[in-house]
Amino acid sequence: MPHFILEHSSNIDDELLALDQLFEKLHNAALDTGLYPLAGIRSRAHRCDKFRVANGNPNYAFLHLQVKIGAGRSDEEKQSSAQAFFKVLSEHLAPIQQQQGLGISFELNELPEVLKYNLNNLREHLSLESAQEK
């Protein structure tokens, strides 16, 4: 973890949204905190074709980013992570906000240790990949 789960209205231009770039920036921000291992970082997006924003103006758009993290970080670490992620998000979306009405929302959720299960072999694959590059 973290897992970045993005939901957005379908009326945002894909080229401006540039999800691959946004996800790369979010992954880098997570790594820069020193709190999250590379093998645990995931990103995904869900495009919503059926939506209504405010008064129904078809140009109004929304984007919501939910970040899920595992337990064990201090409130200060969670807050600094949230601030870093929201900064990346808002800066990335600034060109879109200049072109259309856009509601941006964000939340960071900590999953309780007793309710979270993982099965992950990505660390092994990352190690193999790294060894092959040398």
Least confident piece of the model among 35-39, 107-111, 126-130: 126-130
Structure confidence at residue 120 as a pLDDT band (50, 70, 90) = confident
Q: What is the pLDDT of residue 113?
A: 85
Q: What is the pLDDT of residue 123?
A: 85
- The model's pLDDT over 74-104, given as tens digits with 9 standing for 90+, comes to 999 999 999 999 999 999 999 999 999 999 9
Structure confidence at residue 12 as a pLDDT band (50, 70, 90) = very high
Q: What is the pLDDT of residue 68?
A: 98
Overall fold of domain 3-133: Macrophage Migration Inhibitory Factor (3.30.429)
- The model's pLDDT over 107-118, given as tens digits with 9 standing for 90+, comes to 999 998 888 788
User: Is the pLDDT score of 61 beyond 90?
Assistant: yes
Dihedral (C-alpha) 64, 65, 71, 74: value to the nearest 10 degrees? -100
Q: pTM for this structure?
A: 0.90
User: Is the pLDDT score of 48 beyond 90?
Assistant: yes
How many angstroms separate the CA atoms of 58 and 54, rounded? 10
Mean pLDDT of the chain: 96
Other CB atoms within a 10 A radius of the CB of residue 11 amount to: 18
Instruction: Indicate which residues carry an active-site annotation.
Output: 2
Provide the residue ranges of all domains of the chain, joining segments of one domain with +: 3-133
Closest to 61 measured CA to CA, from 99, 21, 112: 99
Q: Degrees (nearest 5) of the Cα angle 58, 64, 68?
A: 165
User: Is the pLDDT score of 126 beyond 90?
Assistant: no
